[in-house]
Amino acid sequence: MNIISRVVNKDLNWNAIILCTLGFWLSTSLFLDFVLIPSLSVSGMMNDGGFATVGFLVFGVFNRIEVICAALVLTVSLVFYFNHQFPEQRQTIFLVFANLLLLIALAYTYVFIPQMSAWGLSINQFSASTEMPHQMVSWHEGYWVLEAIKYLLVGNLFRWCYSNTCSI
């Protein structure tokens, strides 16, 4: 009995992968930053004793998802780079943007969120007032600067990939 097997080699659709990843990342970031956190803040979360713990859990999970998204974007950018998907200058910029996004995601996960959570815990335990200390405000400002840079980078990468997909 002869069994004939045929190996089917299907290439991955890297444009679809990166567009889905960037779209998911951008939409979840916008939802978290402009819907979830403001609604929790308006509802009185900042006055609750466990806001630092909740923030650490929510942002901790989300930031690890961001690291996965950034790693996937970097992987696809390397595929694009070696397949010469874009003009040479744009390939290099694409790769730099992908690396910056990974660095931002790692900075959020391992620097910003632990520091802000620690300051949040110190507010709850050691201070009778509900105002944020100057150091925590500085961390929040740094977070928002990185967040704005992340939105610009993700938006540019999304635009380039979308225009590249439409031109094929």
Domain membership flag for residue 2: no
| Cα–Cα distance, 77 to 98 (Å, whole number) | 7
* Alpha-helical runs (H) found in 43-133: 51-83, 88-107, 113-126
Distances (CA, A) of 17 to 14, 79, 107, 124: 5, 12, 24, 43
Domain that holds residue 139: 14-166
What's the pLDDT score for residue 56? 80
What's the pLDDT score for residue 45? 73
pLDDT in tens, the chain (168 residues): 566 666 556 788 899 999 999 999 999 999 999 998 888 778 877 666 677 777 788 888 999 999 999 999 999 999 999 988 888 899 999 999 999 999 999 999 999 888 887 766 666 455 555 566 677 778 889 999 999 999 999 999 999 999 988 865
Neighbours of 163 (CB within 10 A): 10
The total of structural domains in the chain comes to 1
| Cα–Cα distance, 4 to 44 (Å, whole number) | 66
Domain membership flag for residue 43: yes
∠ CA 53-37-99, nearest 5°, is: 85
Domain membership flag for residue 97: yes
Domain membership flag for residue 5: no
Domain membership flag for residue 9: no
What's the pLDDT score for residue 120? 67
